[in-house]
Chains A and B, each alone.
Chain A
Amino acid sequence: MKNIVIGRYIPGNTFLYKMDPRTKIIALIILMVSVFIIRSFTFMLGSLGIIIIVLLIGKISVKRVYLGLRPLMFLLIFTFVFQILFNTQGELLIERTLYYTLYTIPITILIITFWIFTKRYIRFKLLYFLLVLTSIVYVLTTLDLGYTIGQGELSIYSQGVEMAFFIMIRLIIIVTLSTILTLTTKPTDLNLGLESVLKPLKIFRVNTEEIAMILAISLRYIPTLLDEANKIMLAQASRGVDFSEGKLKDKVMQIVSLLVPMFIISFKRSDDLANAMEARSFVPGRPRTRLQVLKWTRLDTITLGITFIALITSISLRIFL
C-alpha cells in the first residue's frame, strides 16, 4: 500500500518539468476539451501519436503512464465491449448466431468458474480475460449440439468497432495527460498553480486561498495517513483479521475494522493540526505572503500558444469536416 505510484511526483529535468504549473494546468484543460471536440477517428489517432511523442521527448517512462491507466482498466474494457456489442450503426461486419443449448450453457458456466478461480494466479489478467471472452464466444457460435433452448445474435458493425477504439483512445489520452501533469509537477507547485488558476473564481466569492490550503494539507497528509492505515491493518491482522480473503460479508467487516480507527485518528490529527496552525498565527481568510513564487517563461507562452492552436484546429475540424 505504501508504494502507490499513481500521480506521484518523480524528479526529472526535461521541458515538462521546467514549465510553470499554471501553464500545465491550463494546457491540460484546453487539451482535454480539444480531445472531446474531435470526432474523427484519424485525428484522434493523430492526437495519441502527438502525446506519445511528447512522452518520449519529456522522457517519461511509459510504464508510469500505464500504472496510471491500470485502475481504469475495467472502465476501458467495459466501454469497449459495450460499444462493440450494442452499437448498430455503419456496415455489418460479422453476423453469427449464438446457440444456447444444453451443451453450450454448462460449458460457458464452466469456463467462467474456471476463470474466476484461476485469474489470481495469472500475471497478464487482461490478456487472460480476453482469451476467456473469445473462447466463450467461440463455444456459443460454433457448438450447436443438443437441445436448443434459445438463439441469440451476435452482430458487429463497423461503426461499433470504430467507436470502441475511439472512446478507448480518448480515455487513454485524458488519463495520460493528467498523469503527465502529476508526474512532472511537485505537489507544492501544483497547489500554487491551482490556486492562481482558480483566482478568477474570487468574483463569485469563492475563497481560493482556503481551497488551496485544504489541498496542500491533504497532499501533505496522504503519506502519513497511508502509514497509519498500514499500521492499523497490521494491528488488526495480529488480531486475526485477514484483509485478503473472505466472503463479501467478511470483507465489509474488515473494512469497518480499518475505517473506524482511521476516522478517529484522523479527527484527532486534524484537531492537533488546527491547534498547531492557529498557534502559528494562521487566520483563515487573512492575506498571506508566499515563499514559493511561480515564474512565467517563454516556454510557457509557447506551450499555451500550441495548445490554443490545437483547440482551434479541433473546433474547425469539427465545423468544416
Chain B
Amino acid sequence: MNSIEIKDVSFQYQSNTPVLQDINLTIKKGEWVTILGHNGSGKSTLSKLIIGLLKAKTGQILVNGIELNPETVQDIRQKVGIVFQNPDNQFVGVTVRDDIAFGLENLQVPREDMVERIEKYAKKVNMSDFLNKEPHALSGGQKQRVAIAGILAMNTDIIIFDEATSMLDPKGRNMVLDTMKQLRSEGKTIITITHTMKEALLSDRIVVLKQGRILKVGNSKDILKDKETLEKSNLEMLLPLRILYDLEQTNYSNERIKNLLWELSLSV
C-alpha cells in the first residue's frame, strides 16, 4: 500500500522562480525515505505541501489514497505528523504534558482518553519523568522528543522530520535518531528531510533534490556511494564511503574491506 503519492507537483511563491518542479514520488507504507538536498533545494517546501500548509500550483498529492484538497486537509493532518527544525518554535504548551495534549485537544479527544495517551507516549519517548517540566528546563533533544510524542499521541501513520536534528547537539541528535529507529520498527512511515549524511544512511531510500527537481531516487546504499550525484547537488560524502567509491573505481575486489568501510560509515 502506498502512504504518499506525489504526482507532477510544482510549486512557486508569487512571481518567483519555481521552488519545486515536476515532482513525482511514491512512498510505500512502512518505508523510511530521506529527502536529501542542500539549502534552498525545496525540500522543506515539499513537506509543507504534503501536510497542506502550502498549496501546490499543479499536480496531485495522495495520502493513504485520499487526495489532498481543502475538504480533506484536516483528515490528512491526522494521518501525517511533522517535527520541525526549531525545538522552541513548535512547543505550544506551557508544560510537557500540555504540549503533548495540544494536538489531542484539537481533535476533541475526551479527557480520560487524553490522560492515558499522554502517559503512554511520554513513556515511549522516555519523557515520563518530565511531564510537568516547562520547555526552558529541557534540552533541545528532549523538546524534539516531546514533539514526537505529541504527534504519536494523535495516532499518525506518517511522520515527517523536517531537519528535526539540525539544531541539536550530538547527544540530542542521537536521542532523536534512536526514536526514529524505534518508530520504523513499529511500522510507521518515516520521511526525513536533511542535508546530513548520517540520517540518510539509516533510511531505506533516498531522494536527492536539486533546485526544485528530483535529481535521483534510489536505495540508500547506492546513492550514498554515488559521488557524481552527490557532488552535483553540493552534498558532502562521508569519508569511508568516498574511499569505498574510489576503491570501486579501481576494480578493487576485497569484499571484507568494502564491508568494513560500509560499517565504518554507519558508526561515524
Contacts and interface: CB of A to CB of B under 8 A. Distances in A.
Query: Secondary structure of the A side of the interface?
Result: helix
A186 B94 CA distance: 10
A191 B81 CA distance: 27
B136 A281 contact: no
A286 B106 contact: yes
A249 interface: no
Contacts of B74: 281, 283
Interface string A282-305: 110011111111000000000000
A227 B136 CA distance: 10
A47 to B, nearest CB: 33
Q: Chain B, interface size: which category?
A: 35 or more
Contact of A282 (B81, B89, B106, B115): B106
Nearest to A281: B106
A123 B103 CA distance: 50
Interface in A187-238: 187-188, 216-217, 219-220, 223-224, 227
Interface in B74-118: 74, 77-78, 81-82, 84, 86, 88-95, 97-98, 101-111, 114-115, 118
B92 A278 contact: no
- B53, B78, B89, B102: residue with the most chain A Cβ atoms closer than 10 Å: B89
Interface residues of A, number: 31
B77 A281 contact: yes
B154 A217 contact: no
A51 B54 CA distance: 55
Contacts of A186: 94
Given A220-B93, A227-B136, A279 B108 contact: no
B51 interface: yes
A293 B86 CA distance: 30
B38 interface: no
Nearest to A226: B136
Contacts of A217: 92
Interface of B: 48, 51, 53, 74, 77-78, 81-82, 84, 86, 88-95, 97-98, 101-111, 114-115, 118, 134-136, 150-151, 154
29 contacts: A188-B98, A220-B91, A224-B88, A224-B135, A224-B136, A268-B89, A269-B89, A272-B89, A273-B90, A275-B84, A276-B84, A277-B102, A279-B81, A280-B106, A280-B151, A280-B154, A281-B77, A281-B107, A282-B106, A283-B74, A289-B108, A289-B109, A289-B110, A289-B111, A290-B111, A291-B97, A291-B101, A291-B115, A293-B111
